[in-house]
């Protein structure tokens, strides 16, 4: 029995080695289809088919401000975008819709920078091509993220400026408050110092004034004594001279008195001598008589005694009265008004400018993978078409091979060699399982080398879903062989069933594209569970444990298909 199984396996590999068309369908055809599908559908999943500049974007800068420069710089650093400068809005429209050079034309209107800086809204103008819907969506998503970053940057800058100005204002208030307090303290110190200085200088000024007044008084006394002495001496001299003149006058008057008497005597004698001619003698001139009350003897020109009294009075007038010195408040002590500087209210942490909300796409390790990065389309197409061609290979290698061997009589010869049918079927299933598993491994290796697919966190984990779907596919091929009556019946029916299973099971596109009811139907297909495992490992980058349940489900499908297939095949080929 074991020898029959081994011989069957060897025969299958011998047939595969001789069948070049079969080898082509197993390896080369899947790679060609994967390449065509992957490059064609890359843009749907956000993948890139060119190293740079996959999308051309026309830009018209009417603003020429900071925001416009930020947008242009960000577009230049987008690896997927190639920027074309437009000269006018008409040129931008033609670049998109008539010339079909750019996917989107972006117009940055004049005043955009001024609007953003002054808190007003601003809108970019887009000219799009409706036919290029998917490309437009990707560019619009990138622009939306760019606008969000610019808005967030402006808000962050505004928050920083407000916070800095608040800190500066608070610091200025504190400095003003400190300066006012220091001024008040300095004014109080100066007032106290002025009072102390005034109290200390008043005795000194009083003593200095008393000393100066005493010196002035002494000097005045000396000068007064000298002047009074001089006046006294002059008066004494003048009095002596006038006394001498007065004495001379008194002597003259005495002698004049005597001469008057002698003249009277002479004139009488003259009249006597003239005799009769006495009447002819003119009268003599009259000599004035001395006043009756003239008493020259009572005149005394001795020094005036009042000078001594005047000197005493002047000396008394020079007596210094007590000095009650009180300095005035001059200069007045400066009065600093009490400034009412308000306290800066404490800023409530809950009161702040709202921040901006953004998104950051990260992988399972927390590393950022960019905004709207999508995934490499070949991460989906390689396992999807590998499963599709695996099922096609099982259809040709199991179903058609069993029908051909039945028609050619090969199965009859094996039965005549005492090889039970189930042993032959088991050998064929094992052989095709190994071939399918190897096919999956080769296609994954080719995808890694040629298309740069991801093998996930644990590449060896891909062996579980690959082995499970290979086993389920081989067993399903046995069912198709048992149901199909002829080769011509198996080919169209089997191809339709396999294509349907591949399409519904998510081999050609993400199963999320399908309606909800179809996704529920897909749970009954092994292709669905195989793609779930491959997507978890390769695209979602989950751990190897994520493939355990899908692989177990497919192994379960394989067991069910094997039991059903063997039962049908025994009736069909027994």
Q: Which of 107-111, 276-280, 300-304, 444-448 has the lowest mean pLDDT?
A: 300-304
Task: Write down the pLDDT at residue 349.
Answer: 54
Say if residue 122 is in the same domain as residue 154.
no
Q: What is the mean pLDDT of the chain?
A: 76
- What is the DSSP code string of 349-413? TT-S---------B-TTS-B--TT----HHHHHHHHHHHHHHHHHHIIIIIIHHHHHHHHTHHHH
Cβ–Cβ < 8 Å for 554, 465: yes
Q: Give the residue among 147, 61, 78, 137 at the shortest CA–CA distance from 103.
A: 137
> How far does Cα 319 stand from its chain's mean position?
86
Say if residue 39 is in the same domain as residue 62.
no
DSSP state of 535: I
Query: Residue 389: exposed, middle, or buried by beta-carbon count in 10 A (0-12, 13-18, 19+)?
Result: buried
Question: What pTM, to 2 d.p., does this model score?
Answer: 0.55
Predicted confidence (pLDDT) at residue 370 exceeds the cutoff of 50: yes
Among residues 295, 317, 339, the one where a domain terminates is 317
Say if residue 190 is in the same domain as residue 112.
no
Task: Write down the pLDDT at residue 526.
Answer: 93
End-to-end CA gap in the chain:
17
Q: Which of 115-119, 244-248, 339-343 has the lowest mean pLDDT?
A: 339-343
Q: Which of 353-362, 413-422, 557-566 has the lowest mean pLDDT?
A: 353-362
Task: Write down the pLDDT at residue 329.
Answer: 56
Task: Write down the pLDDT at residue 50.
Answer: 47
The region that residue 291 occupies, defined by phi over 0 for left and psi between -120 and 50 for alpha, beta otherwise, is beta
Q: Is residue 345 part of a domain?
A: no
Say if residue 506 is in the same domain as residue 541.
yes
- What average pLDDT score do residues 379-394 get? 87
Instruction: Write the pLDDT tens digit of every residue in 39-79.
Output: 656 555 655 544 445 678 899 999 999 888 888 888 888 77
- What average pLDDT score do residues 90-107 get? 86
**CATH value at residue 95:** 3.40.1710.10
Among residues 274, 293, 317, the one where a domain terminates is 317
Q: Is residue 142 part of a domain?
A: no
Q: Residue 368: pLDDT band by 50, 70, 90 thresholds? A: low
Pairing of strands 125-128, 104-108: antiparallel
Tell me which of 155 and 298 has the higher pLDDT. 155
Most confident of 206-210, 266-270, 452-456: 452-456
Say if residue 385 is in the same domain as residue 532.
yes
Say if residue 59 is in the same domain as residue 43.
no
Range of the structural domain that residue 223 is part of: 150-317
In the chain, the number of structural domains is: 3
Q: Is residue 30 part of a domain?
A: yes
Cβ–Cβ < 8 Å for 481, 386: no
Q: Residue 533: pLDDT band by 50, 70, 90 thresholds? A: very high
- Crossing angle of the two packed helices 463-483 and 401-408, in degrees rounded to 10: 40
3-state SS, 290-334, equals CCCCCCHHHCCCCCCCHHHHHHHHHHHHCCCCCCCCCCCCCCCCC
Cα–Cα dist 503/509, whole Å: 8
């Amino acid at each position: 029995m074991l020898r029959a199984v081994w011989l069957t396996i060897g025969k299958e590999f011998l047939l595969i080695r001789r069948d070049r068309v079969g080898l082509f369908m197993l390896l080369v055809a899947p790679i060609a289809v994967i390449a065509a599908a992957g490059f064609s559908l890359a843009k749907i999943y956000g993948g890139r088919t060119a190293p740079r500049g996959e999308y051309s974007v026309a830009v018209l800068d009417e603003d020429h401000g900071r925001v416009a420069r930020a947008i242009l710089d960000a577009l230049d650093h987008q690896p997927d975008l190639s920027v074309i400068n437009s000269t006018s809005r008409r040129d931008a429209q033609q670049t998109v819709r008539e010339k079909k050079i750019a996917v989107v034309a972006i117009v940055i209107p004049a005043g955009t920078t001024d609007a953003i800086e002054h808190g007003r809204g601003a809108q970019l103008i887009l000219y799009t091509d409706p036919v290029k819907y998917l490309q437009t969506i990707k560019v619009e998503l990138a622009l939306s993220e760019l606008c969000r970053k610019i808005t967030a940057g402006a808000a962050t800058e505004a928050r920083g400026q407000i916070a800095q100005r608040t800190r500066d204002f608070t610091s200025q208030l504190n400095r003003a408050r400190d300066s006012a307090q220091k001024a008040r303290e300095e004014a109080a110190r100066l007032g106290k110092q002025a009072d102390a200085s005034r109290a200390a200088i008043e005795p000194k000024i009083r003593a200095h004034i008393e000393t100066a007044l005493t010196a002035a008084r002494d000097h005045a006394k000396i000068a007064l004594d000298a002047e009074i002495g001089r006046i006294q001496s002059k008066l004494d001299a003048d009095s002596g001279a006038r006394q001498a003149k007065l004495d001379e006058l008194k002597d003259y008057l005495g002698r004049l008195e005597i001469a008057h008497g002698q003249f009277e005597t002479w004139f009488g004698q003259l009249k006597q001598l003239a005799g009769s001619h006495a009447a002819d003698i003119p009268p003599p001139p009259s000599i004035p008589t001395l006043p009756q009350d003239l008493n020259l003897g009572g005149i005394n020109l001795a020094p005036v005694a009042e000078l001594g009294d005047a000197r005493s009075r002047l000396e008394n007038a020079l007596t210094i009265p007590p000095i009650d010195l009180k300095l005035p408040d001059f200069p007045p002590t400066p009065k600093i008004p009490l400034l009412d500087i308000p306290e800066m209210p404490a800023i409530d942490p809950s009161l702040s400018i709202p921040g901006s909300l953004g998104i950051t796409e990260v992988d399972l390790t927390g590393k950022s993978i960019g905004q709207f990065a999508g995934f490499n389309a070949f991460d989906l197409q390689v396992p999807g078409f590998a499963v599709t061609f695996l099922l096609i290979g099982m259809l040709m290698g199991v179903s058609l091979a069993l029908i051909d061997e039945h028609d050619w009589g090969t199965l009859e010869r094996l039965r005549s060699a005492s090889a039970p049918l189930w042993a032959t079927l088991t050998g064929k299933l094992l052989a095709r399982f190994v071939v399918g598993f190897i096919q999956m491994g080769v296609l994954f290796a080719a995808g890694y080398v040629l298309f740069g697919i991801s093998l996930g966190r644990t590449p060896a984990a891909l062996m579980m879903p690959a082995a499970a779907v290979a086993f389920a596919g081989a067993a399903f091929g046995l069912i198709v062989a048992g149901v199909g009556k002829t080769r011509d019946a198996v080919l169209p029916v089997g191809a339709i069933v396999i294509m349907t299973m591949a399409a519904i099971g998510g081999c050609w596109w993400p199963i999320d594209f399908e309606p909800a009811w179809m996704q529920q139907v897909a749970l009954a297909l092994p292709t669905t569970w195989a793609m779930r495992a491959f997507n978890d490992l390769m695209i979602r980058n989950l751990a190897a444990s994520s493939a355990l349940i899908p692989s177990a489900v497919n192994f379960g499908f394989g067991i069910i298909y094997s039991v059903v297939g063997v039962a049908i095949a025994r009736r069909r080929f027994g």
